[in-house]
Structure 1
Amino acid sequence: MESSPSGVQQEEERNWLELPRDVTSTILSRLGAIEILTSAQNVCSSWRNICKDPLMWRTIDMRNPGDTYGMDYDLETMCRHAIDLSCGQLVDINIEFFGTDELLKYLTDRSSMVRRLRLICCYSISDNGLSEAAAKLPLLEDLEISYHSLSNEPLEAIGHCCPLLKSLKLNCRGFRHPHLAIDDEAVAIAKSMPELRHLQLFGNKLTNEGLQAILDGCPHLESLDLRQCFNIALAGNLGKRCAEQIKDLRRPYDSTEGYEFDAGIHNTYDYDDDSYDEDYPSGFSDIDFLTDDGEYYEFSGGSDLTDDYDFYFD
């Protein structure tokens, strides 16, 4: 009998299908919803059964690259299936680029236990749609609405309807433009969200007056991120108060390391020739969505959803 060369051992092949159910569930839960619905649940009947377990859908992560052209599936339809699979046990959901008023209504009609909601670049969600959704999310504790233009009305509705809200992220692209100083969002937060502990306003246009309102109206704030809020000047008494009241303070010109989105800054916009500065970085900007009359275009990188595509989870 021939022996194997010294020091060489034949590694036994691992059969991933024989792993205990709880271990497999843990592994699969680390995938995003898109990967589970398009790939993992098709591997075998065992994985398919695990993927139908409502506990697998307490968290739904619909993260996607934003460029949906060429996709052979409909993200909104897929998200509805994921919501159905949660059987009302959904507590955490992330929707990027393709959110609509109809999808938000579908979600809140079936998932009143949601505690964390993340909406990124969902320009098809209106102020009214967000206000109506807030009324159905009484347990909401953590909310992010980034790269989306809001008026103060839905923010106030969120504050009044979601009394447990502890964390809010309201981020946009840093943009230096002297006359764009807006405190509406800051005032709405100050008036309606007294229990906030964590607030991120990356790239916001609030001024010192808006910041003062937040400090007055949100006395329990522990962390405040003001990076690229270029209308803020943290000097004198205001700077001293922030340092004393806020444990974790990010100032307007602090490093953007660790920020998950493009942190490039837009500078002066030239209205005469309707062009940007030559060295503008690519990414999101308020200007990208503004028309001449101040209205917002829908985000051009959103989903190109097809009406005739049916997604089935048999």
Structure 2
Amino acid sequence: MGDSSEVRAWEELIPDALGLIFRNLSLQEVLTVVPRVCKSWGRAVSGPYCWRDIDIEEWSQRCKPEQLDRLLRVLIARSCGSFQRLSVSGLASDSLFSFIAEHAGSLQTLVLPRSEISDAIVEQVSSRLSNITFLDVSYCKKIGPRALESFGKHCKSLIGLRRTMHPLEVADKVSQDDEAFAIACSMPKLRHLEMAYLLLTTRGVLEILSRCKELEFLDLRGCWEVKLDEKLVKESYAGLKVLGPQVEDTYERSFWDECSEEYSDTSDYSWEFMDDDDDGIWDDDDQGFEGLEVRFYGGGFNQAYAGFHWPPSP
């Protein structure tokens, strides 16, 4: 390159461009390393440019409820209502779910496994989630057909639903066909449906098949009471792939689709968040975002996660 070539410094890139670049970094790096580089990078990570895709599912499985509440509110506030995907595990309260819904004008993908949300709060705020196209409410023990029907009623663009459970979580139930009927009646545009280990019967599944005409994939692993005629399914529902009820693997790979391929047992950590600095930008004499403390601890999966391996077929 000649002397006349223009060289542009990284710090001069517009925030939108920086945001696209920073999406390739880990959450840890975006929150703790990037802001310390320069003021322009600090502005980028404290604005909406980096937070259109908020994925803290892996981290949220290891943090305290108050830490999760604090971080999630900070990131959603920074997104300024522009986040299109939210993936988080273990929401501990209805109030936090309500906060998400209040800022969900652009939200399209909502992944909330193991959350403590209730039927009542879903019925109250689901009208604010009208743009959602994919929903994951797996292992959410406190919701049932009322919540599913409300989601379907208000989320008219919903084409993907993941509602899987662990057998121990449904051991006290007799049947969950009422959930199947709620899905069938309110979600006619579904293309992808996962219902592994729900206590369904053939009748409930046939109701879904008769009403969800666009269905392309149906996961029924562990739904032992479902008896479908494979020949009839192929003839009557061309293009539909049905998985199960038999379970071939003891480790369910699709459950971890959203997780990093590079996950290792040494990546366990815990973050402690205190007050967030609304300005988000350092002055020359600043040493970092005021009141933000991040701590990392080594470790791996513990016994709390052992129960999420799929059991073999009976």
Tell me what 2:181 maps to.
187
Residue 137 of structure 2 corresponds to residue 145 of structure 1: yes
Tell me what 2:114 maps to.
121
Please say if residues 78 and 311 of structure 1, whose CA atoms lie closer than 8 Å, have aligned partners that are also in contact: no
Amino acid at match of 1:173: H
Tell me what 2:55 maps to.
61
* Residues 5-40 of structure 1 deviation map (CA, whole Å, 9 limit, x = unaligned): xxxxxxxxxxx9669566653332134556533443
Structure 1 pair 107–255 and aligned structure 2 pair: CA distance change class (3 A)? same
Q: In 2, distance between residues paired with 1:65 and 1:87?
A: 21
Q: In 2, distance between residues paired with 1:35 and 1:99?
A: 26
Please say if residues 189 and 212 of structure 2, whose CA atoms lie closer than 8 Å, have aligned partners that are also in contact: yes
TM-score normalised by the chain length of structure 2: 0.70
Please say if residues 191 and 214 of structure 2, whose CA atoms lie closer than 8 Å, have aligned partners that are also in contact: yes
Residue 255 of structure 2 corresponds to residue 260 of structure 1: yes
Residues 267-278 of structure 1 correspond to what in structure 2 (within 5 A)? none
Please say if residues 107 and 129 of structure 2, whose CA atoms lie closer than 8 Å, have aligned partners that are also in contact: yes
| Stretch deviating more after TM superposition (45-54 or 83-92) | 45-54
Higher helix share goes to which structure?
2
**Shift, 1:130, TM fit:** 1.8
Tell me what 1:49 maps to.
43
Cα RMSD (Å): 3.2
Q: Which runs of 5+ in 2 are unaligned?
A: 1-8, 257-269, 281-314
- Higher alpha-carbon Rg: 1
Residue 168 of structure 2 corresponds to residue 203 of structure 1: no
SS of 2:166's partner is: coil
Amino acid at match of 1:163: K
Please say if residues 34 and 62 of structure 1, whose CA atoms lie closer than 8 Å, have aligned partners that are also in contact: no
Structure 1 pair 203–38 and aligned structure 2 pair: CA distance change class (3 A)? farther
Tell me what 2:304 maps to.
none
Q: In 1, distance between residues paired with 2:187 and 2:171?
A: 28
* Residues 252-272 of structure 1 deviation map (CA, whole Å, 9 limit, x = unaligned): 2154452225xxxxxxxxxxx
Q: 2:241 aligns with which of 248, 257, 270?
A: 248
Number of residue equivalences: 253
**Shift, 1:49, TM fit:** 1.8
Please say if residues 174 and 202 of structure 1, whose CA atoms lie closer than 8 Å, have aligned partners that are also in contact: no
Residue 44 of structure 2 corresponds to residue 79 of structure 1: no
**Shift, 1:181, TM fit:** 3.0
Structure 1 pair 45–145 and aligned structure 2 pair: CA distance change class (3 A)? same
Please say if residues 212 and 238 of structure 1, whose CA atoms lie closer than 8 Å, have aligned partners that are also in contact: no
* Residues 259-291 of structure 1 deviation map (CA, whole Å, 9 limit, x = unaligned): 225xxxxxxxxxxxxxxxxxxxxxxxxxxxxxx
Q: In 2, distance between residues paired with 1:112 and 1:305?
A: 29
TM-score normalised by the chain length of structure 1: 0.70
Residues 1-314 of structure 1 correspond to what in structure 2 (within 5 A)? 24-31=18-25, 33=27, 35-63=29-57, 64=59, 66-68=61-63, 74-123=67-116, 125-149=117-141, 150-174=143-167, 180-235=174-229, 239-240=233-234, 244-256=237-249, 258-260=253-255, 309-312=274-277, 314=280
Q: In 1, distance between residues paired with 2:147 and 2:272?
A: 26
Tell me what 2:289 maps to.
none
**Shift, 1:142, TM fit:** 0.9
SS of 2:255's partner is: coil
Please say if residues 11 and 40 of structure 2, whose CA atoms lie closer than 8 Å, have aligned partners that are also in contact: no
Please say if residues 180 and 207 of structure 2, whose CA atoms lie closer than 8 Å, have aligned partners that are also in contact: yes
Q: In 2, distance between residues paired with 1:137 and 1:30?
A: 27
